[in-house]
Chain A
Amino acid sequence: MIFAHAMSLLAQTAPTNELPPLLVRPLPVWDYWYLLLIPLCLGVSIVYKSIKCQTMDRVPREATLIFMWILVGMIAAAGVLAALVGIVGR
Chain B
Amino acid sequence: MGISANRSPLPPPLVALAGWIFPGAGYWLIGQRTRALTVGITILILFFLGILIGGVGSVDAPSLGGPDSLFAKVLQKPWFIGQVLAGPISLIAAWIAAVIEAPLSHARVMEIGTLYSAVAGMLNLMAIIDSASRASREAE
- A27 to B130: give the CA distance in the assembly, Å: 34
The count of residues in chain B whose C-beta lies closer than 8 Å to any C-beta of chain A is: 44
Does A85 sit at the interface, judged by CB under 8 A?
A: no
Question: Is A27 a contact of B99 with CB atoms below 8 Å?
Answer: no
Most buried by A among B49, B54, B99, B119: B99
Known: A27-B109, A33-B108, A47-B39. A15 touches B96 (CB 8 A): yes
A89 within 8 A of B: no
Report the number of A-B residue pairs with Cβ-Cβ less than 8 Å: 104
Q: Encode contact with A along B44-87: 1 for CB under 8 Å, 0 otherwise.
A: 01100101111111100101110000000000000000000000
| Interface bin, chain A | 20 to 34
Min distance, Cβ B136 to any Cβ of chain A, angstroms: 15
A27 near B52 with CB under 8 A, answer yes
Contacts A19-B100, A24-B56 known; 14 new A-B pairs at CB < 8 A: A4-B64, A14-B100, A26-B53, A27-B54, A30-B108, A36-B112, A39-B46, A40-B46, A43-B123, A44-B123, A47-B39, A47-B42, A48-B123, A50-B42
20 A-B pairs within 8 Å (CB atoms) are namely A4-B65, A10-B95, A14-B100, A23-B51, A23-B52, A24-B55, A24-B57, A26-B55, A26-B58, A27-B53, A27-B109, A30-B107, A33-B109, A43-B45, A44-B123, A47-B126, A47-B127, A48-B123, A50-B35, A56-B1
Which B residues have a C-beta under 8 Å from some C-beta of A? 1, 34-35, 38-39, 42-43, 45-46, 49, 51-58, 61, 63-65, 95-96, 98-100, 102-103, 105, 107-110, 112-113, 115-116, 119-120, 123, 126-127, 130
